[in-house]
Structure 1
Amino acid sequence: MTRSHLCLLCLLLSLVNLAASQDDATIMQSLKSTLHLTPDVDWSNPDRCKWVVFQCDGSNRVTRIQLKQKGISGTLPPDLQKLSELIVLEFFSNKITGPVPDLSGLTRLQRLNLHDNLFDSTPKNLFSGMNSLQEAYLDNNPFASWEIPETVKEATSLKNLSLVNCNLVGSIPDFFSSHTLSSLVSLKLSRNNMQGGLPASIGASSLQQLYLNGQNLSGSISVLQNMTSLVEVDLQANAFSGPIPDLSGLQSLRLFNVRENQLTGLVPPSFTGLKSLTVVNLTNNCFQGPTPLFENSVAVDVIANTNSFCLDTPGTPCDPRVEALLSVAESFGYPVKLAKSWKGNDPCGGSWLGISCSVSNEVTVVDLERQELTGTISPSFAKLTSLETINLSNNQLTGSIPKELTSLPRLRTLDVSNNDIHGDVPKFSASVSVVTTGNVNIGPVSPTGWKSFRNRI
Structure 2
Amino acid sequence: MPSFTVPPVVLFVVLHILASPATACTEQEKHNLLRFLAGLSRDGGLATSWRDNSTNCCKWEGVVCNEDEAVTEVSLGSKGLEGCISPSLANLTSLLHVNLSYNPFSGGLLPELMSSGSIIILDVSFNQLNGPLPDLPYLVTTNRPLQVLNISSNQFSSKFPSATWKVMKNLIALNASNNSFTGNIPSSLCLGSPYLVLLDLCYNQLSGNIPTALGDCSKLKVLKVGHNNLSGTLPVEIFHAASLEYLSFPNNGLQGELDGAHIVRRSNIRTLDLGGNHISGKIPESIGQLTRLEELHLGNNNMSGELPSTLSNCKNLKTIDLKLNDFSGDLGKVNFATLQNLKSLDLIKNNLNGIVPESIYSCSNLTALRLSGNHFHGEISLRIGNLKHLSFLSLVRNSFTNITKTLHALESCRNISILLIGRNFMNEAMPQDEIIDGFQNLQFLSMCQCSLTGRIPAWLSKLTSLKILLLSNNQLTGPMPSWINSLNHLFRLDVSNNSLTGEIPVTLMQMPLLKSDKTGMYLDPSLIDLGLLIYGVAPTQLQYHIGSASAKELNLGKNNFTGMIPREIGQLKALLYMNLSSNNFYGEIPQSICNLTNLQRLDLSNNHLTGAIPAALENLHFLSQFNISNNNLEGPIPTRGQLSTFQNSSFGGNPKLCGSVLINHCGSVEAAPIYITSAKEYIDKVIFVIAFCVFFWVAVLYDQLVLFKYFG
Q: What residue identity is the alignment partner of 1:193? A: N
- Report matched runs for 1:296-315 at 5 Å: 297=340, 298-303=342-347, 306-314=349-357
**Contiguous gaps of at least 5 residues in structure 2:** 1-25, 71-92, 360-374, 378-712
The alpha-carbon distance between structure 1 residues 241 and 141, as it changes in their structure 2 partners (threshold 3 A), is same
Helix, strand or coil at the partner of 1:233? strand
Which SS does the other structure have where 2:211 is aligned?
A: coil
Q: Distance in 1 between matches of 2:173 and 2:302?
A: 33
Structure 2 Cα separation of the partners of residues 285 and 28 of structure 1:
56
Cα distance 1:209–1:150, how it changes in 2: closer, same or farther (>3 A)? Answer: same
Q: 1:127 aligns to what?
A: 165
Whole-angstrom CA distance in 1 between matches of 2:60 and 2:95: 11
Offset at residue 200 of structure 1 (A): 1.1
* 1:97 equivalent in alignment to 2:130: yes
Q: Does residue 69 in structure 1 map to residue 98 in structure 2?
A: no
Structure with bigger gyration radius? 2
1:226 CA drift (Å): 2.4
Equivalence for 1:262: 302
1:277 paired with 2:313, answer no
- Please list the CA deviations of residues 87-132 of structure 1 after superposition, one character each: whole Å capped at 9, or x if unmatched: 0111011111222223455621110001111112343323222111
- Residue 278 of structure 2 corresponds to 239
1:46–1:163 CA distance, 2 compared to 1 (3 A): farther
- Displacement after TM superposition at 1:33 (Å): 7.1
The alpha-carbon deviation at position 311 of structure 1 amounts to: 2.8
Match of 1:137 in 2: 175
Q: Which residue of 2 aligns with 1:212?
A: 249
Pick aligned residue for 2:212 from 174, 179, 182:
174
CA–CA distance in structure 1, aligned partners of residues 280 and 55 of structure 2: 61
Q: Which residue of 1 aligns with 2:234?
A: 198
Q: Deviations over 1:7-47 (max 9, x none)?
A: xxxxxxxxxxxxxx999999978876776554244488798
Partner in structure 2 of residue 422 of structure 1: none
Bigger strand share: 2
Given residue 118 of structure 1, which amino acid in structure 2 is its aligned partner? Answer: Q
Partner of 2:620: none
Q: Deviations over 1:147-180 (max 9, x none)?
A: 1112312111111111110211111111222xx2
Q: Which has the higher helix share?
A: 2
Shift of 1:215: 1.0
- Distance in 1 separating the partners of 2:32 and 2:188: 25
Between the aligned partners of 1:23 and 1:146, the Cα distance in structure 2 is 41
Supply the AA of the counterpart residue of 2:324. Answer: N
Comparing 85-94 with 25-34, greater Cα deviation is found at: 25-34
Number of aligned residues: 295
CA 1:243–1:23 in 2, change beyond 3 Å: closer, same or farther? farther
Cα drift, residue 202 of structure 1: 1.3
Cα RMSD, aligned residues only? 3.3
Contact 1:38 1:70 in 2 (8 A): no
Cross-structure match for 2:153: 116
Partner of residue 39, structure 1: 44
Query: Percent identity at matched positions?
Result: 26
Which TM-score applies when normalising by structure 1? 0.57
TM-superposed CA distance for 1:313, in Å, is: 3.3
Partners of 1:98 and 1:29 in 2: CA distance: 26
Q: Aligned partners of 1:116, 1:158: CA distance in 2, in Å?
A: 21
Instruction: Provide the rounded CA distance (Å) in 2 between the counterparts of 1:51 and 1:75.
Output: 26
Instruction: Name the CA shift for 1:81/1:254 in 2 (closer, same or farther; >3 Å).
Output: closer
| Shift, 1:56, TM fit | 6.3
Counterpart AA for 1:284? L
Secondary structure of the structure 2 residue equivalent to 1:175: helix
2 CA distance for matches of 1:264 and 1:82?
50
Give the deviation of 1:183 after TM superposition: 1.1
CA distance in 2, matches of 1:83, 1:26: 18
For structure 1, the 5+ residue unaligned runs are 1-20, 317-342, 346-457
Partner of 2:518: none
Query: How far 1:251 moved relative to its partner?
Result: 1.3
In 1, Cα distance between the equivalents of 2:32 and 2:114?
A: 10
- Change beyond 3 A, Cα 1:137–1:240: same
Cα distance, 1:37–1:211 mapped onto 2, change above 3 Å: farther
Q: Deviations over 1:375-396 (max 9, x none)?
A: xxxxxxxxxxxxxxxxxxxxxx
Query: What is aligned with 2:117?
Result: 84
Aligned to 2:122, the other structure's residue is in SS state: strand
Give the 3 Å change call, closer, same or farther, for CA 249–35 of structure 1 in structure 2: farther
Q: Within 2, Cα distance between the matches of 1:126 and 1:47?
A: 37
C-alpha separation in 1, matches of 2:287 and 2:60: 52
